[in-house]
A and B are shown apart, each in its own frame.
Chain A
Amino acid sequence: MTAPTRGQRKPVVLLRPVPGDTVIHRMWAGTKLLSVAGIGVLLTFYPGWAPIAAVGVLVLVTARLAHIPRGALPSIPFFLWILIVLGGALAALAGGSPFIDIGSVQIGLGGLLNYLRITALAIVLLGLGALVSWTTNIADIAPAVATLGRPLRVLRVPVHDWAVTIALALRAFPMLIDEFRTLYAAHRLRPVEPAETFRARRRQRVANLVDLLAAAVTVALRRGDEMGDAITARGGAGQFSAAPSGPRARDWIAFAVLVLVCGTALALELTVLPTSLPRR
Chain B
Amino acid sequence: MTAIPPATTPRRGLTPGELAQAAVMAALCAATAIIAVVVPFAAGLSVLGTVPMGLLAYRYRLRVLLAATVAAGIIAFLIAGMGGLMTVVDCAYIGGLTGVIKRRGRGTAMAFGASIVAGALFGAAAVVALSVLSRLRNLVFDSLTASIEGLAKVLERIPVLDVAAEPLRTTVATMLDYWPLLMLVLGIFTISSISMVGWWALSRILARLLGVPDVHKLDADEADDSAAIAPVPARLTDVRFRYPGIDHDALGPVSMELQPGEHVAVTGPNGSGKTTLMLMLAGRQPTSGSIERAGAVGLGRIGGTAVVMQHPESQVLGTRVADDVVWGLPVGATADVERLLAEVGLDGLAERDTGGLSGGELQRLAVAAALARDPSLLIADEVTSMVDQQGRDTLMNVLSGLTDHHDMSLVHITHYNDEADSADRTVQLSGNGGTADNTDMVQTSAVPVSDAAATHHGAPVLELTGVGHEYASGTPWAKTALRDITFTVNEGDGVLVHGLNGSGKSTLAWIMAGLTVPTYGACLLDGVPVSQQVGAVAISFQAARLQLMRSTVGHEIASAAGFSRHDNDRISGALEMVGLDAALAQRRIDQLSGGQMRRVVLAGLLARSPRALILDEPLAGLDAASQRGLLRLLEDLRHNNGLTVVVISHDFTGLENLCPRTLHLHRGELALAPTTAGGAR
Chain A contact residues, CB within 8 Å of chain B: 1-5, 8, 10-16, 18-19, 40, 44-48, 68-69, 71-72, 77, 79-80, 87, 89-96, 110-112, 114-115, 117-118, 121, 125-126, 128-130, 132-133, 136-139, 141, 145, 158, 160-162, 164-177, 179-180, 182-183, 185-191, 193, 209-243, 276-279
Chain A residues whose CB sits within 8 angstroms of the CB of B68 once the complex forms: 165, 169
Say yes or no: A115 contacts B546, CB within 8 Å: no
Say yes or no: B215 contacts A225, CB within 8 Å: yes
Chain B residues whose CB sits within 8 angstroms of the CB of A228 once the complex forms: 16-21, 216, 218
CB B551 to nearest CB in A, in angstroms, measures 8
Q: Classify chain B's interface size.
A: 35 or more
Say yes or no: B82 contacts A129, CB within 8 Å: yes
Additional pairs, 7, CB under 8 Å, beyond known A8-B517, A241-B318:
A2-B521, A167-B23, A172-B27, A230-B316, A233-B307, A237-B328, A278-B142
9-residue interface stretch from B297-305, B434-442, B623-631: B297-305
Say yes or no: B51 contacts A213, CB within 8 Å: yes
CB B505 to nearest CB in A, in angstroms, measures 15
Q: Closest chain B residue to A161 by CB distance?
A: B14
- What are the interface flags for B117-138 relative to A under an 8 Å C-beta threshold, 1 for contact and 0 otherwise? 0000000000000000101101
User: How far apart are the CA atoms of A145 and B217 in the complex, in Å?
Assistant: 31
Chain A residues whose CB sits within 8 angstroms of the CB of B569 once the complex forms: none
Q: Closest chain A residue to B541 by CB distance?
A: A182
**Residue in B55, B71, B298, B306 whose CB lies within 8 Å of A166:** B71
Known A166-B74, A276-B138: A210·B201 in contact at CB below 8 Å: yes
Say yes or no: B475 contacts A114, CB within 8 Å: no
Say yes or no: A125 contacts B146, CB within 8 Å: no
CB B556 to nearest CB in A, in angstroms, measures 10
Say yes or no: B52 contacts A217, CB within 8 Å: yes
Say yes or no: B75 contacts A189, CB within 8 Å: no
Chain B residues whose CB sits within 8 angstroms of the CB of A72 once the complex forms: 475-476
Chain B residues whose CB sits within 8 angstroms of the CB of A217 once the complex forms: 28, 51-52, 55, 205, 209
User: How far apart are the CA atoms of A16 and B472 in the complex, in Å?
Assistant: 11
9-residue interface stretch from B90-98, B102-110, B233-241, B532-540: B532-540
Say yes or no: A94 contacts B145, CB within 8 Å: yes
Determine whether B585 belongs to the interface, using a CB cutoff of 8 Å to chain A. Answer: no
Say yes or no: B28 contacts A236, CB within 8 Å: no
Q: Closest chain B residue to A129 by CB distance?
A: B81
9-residue interface stretch from B261-269, B407-415, B418-426, B558-566: B558-566
Say yes or no: B19 contacts A168, CB within 8 Å: yes
Known A5-B518, A213-B205, A227-B314: A139·B353 in contact at CB below 8 Å: yes
Q: Closest chain B residue to A33 by CB distance?
A: B74
Say yes or no: A169 contacts B1, CB within 8 Å: no
Chain B residues whose CB sits within 8 angstroms of the CB of A277 once the complex forms: 135, 138
* Pairs of residues from A and B, 8 with the lowest C-beta to C-beta distance, nearest first: A235-B300, A111-B146, A234-B328, A168-B23, A90-B150, A191-B562, A94-B149, A231-B16
Say yes or no: B333 contacts A161, CB within 8 Å: no
Determine whether B327 belongs to the interface, using a CB cutoff of 8 Å to chain A. Answer: yes
Say yes or no: B82 contacts A139, CB within 8 Å: no
Chain A residues whose CB sits within 8 angstroms of the CB of B13 once the complex forms: 158, 160-161, 237
Determine whether B112 belongs to the interface, using a CB cutoff of 8 Å to chain A. Answer: no
User: How far apart are the CA atoms of A77 and B41 in the complex, in Å?
Assistant: 12
Chain B residues whose CB sits within 8 angstroms of the CB of A94 once the complex forms: 145-150, 153
Say yes or no: B147 contacts A115, CB within 8 Å: yes
Known A175-B313, A217-B209, A233-B299: A190·B31 in contact at CB below 8 Å: no
Residue of B63, B282, B328, B330 most packed against chain A (CB within 10 A): B328
**Residue in B70, B135, B147, B521 whose CB lies within 8 Å of A47:** B135
User: How far apart are the CA atoms of A176 and B75 in the complex, in Å?
Assistant: 13
Q: What is the number of contacts between chain A and chain B, taking CB atoms within 8 Å?
A: 439
CB B342 to nearest CB in A, in angstroms, measures 15
**Residue in A45, A47, A242 whose CB lies within 8 Å of B326:** A242
Chain B residues whose CB sits within 8 angstroms of the CB of A186 once the complex forms: 541, 546-547, 549
Say yes or no: A87 contacts B67, CB within 8 Å: no
Say yes or no: B40 contacts A79, CB within 8 Å: yes
**Residue in B71, B300, B468, B549 whose CB lies within 8 Å of A234:** B300
Q: Closest chain A residue to B538 by CB distance?
A: A189
Say yes or no: A5 contacts B519, CB within 8 Å: yes
Say yes or no: B72 contacts A169, CB within 8 Å: yes
User: How far apart are the CA atoms of A15 and B133 in the complex, in Å?
Assistant: 31
Say yes or no: A226 contacts B63, CB within 8 Å: no
Say yes or no: B476 contacts A138, CB within 8 Å: no
Say yes or no: B325 contacts A227, CB within 8 Å: no
Say yes or no: B300 contacts A176, CB within 8 Å: no
Say yes or no: B150 contacts A92, CB within 8 Å: yes
Say yes or no: B205 contacts A89, CB within 8 Å: no
**Residue in B75, B545, B551 whose CB lies within 8 Å of A170:** B75
User: How far apart are the CA atoms of A141 and B71 in the complex, in Å?
Assistant: 11
Chain A residues whose CB sits within 8 angstroms of the CB of B315 once the complex forms: 230
Known A89-B150, A161-B14, A210-B208: A80·B19 in contact at CB below 8 Å: no
Chain A residues whose CB sits within 8 angstroms of the CB of B299 once the complex forms: 232-233, 235
Say yes or no: A237 contacts B16, CB within 8 Å: yes
Say yes or no: A172 contacts B24, CB within 8 Å: yes
CB A3 to nearest CB in B, in angstroms, measures 8
**Residue in A93, A214, A242 whose CB lies within 8 Å of B350:** A242
Q: Closest chain B residue to A48 by CB distance?
A: B135
Chain A residues whose CB sits within 8 angstroms of the CB of B561 once the complex forms: 191
Say yes or no: B217 contacts A193, CB within 8 Å: no
**Residue in A173, A190, A240 whose CB lies within 8 Å of B327:** A240
Say yes or no: A133 contacts B471, CB within 8 Å: no
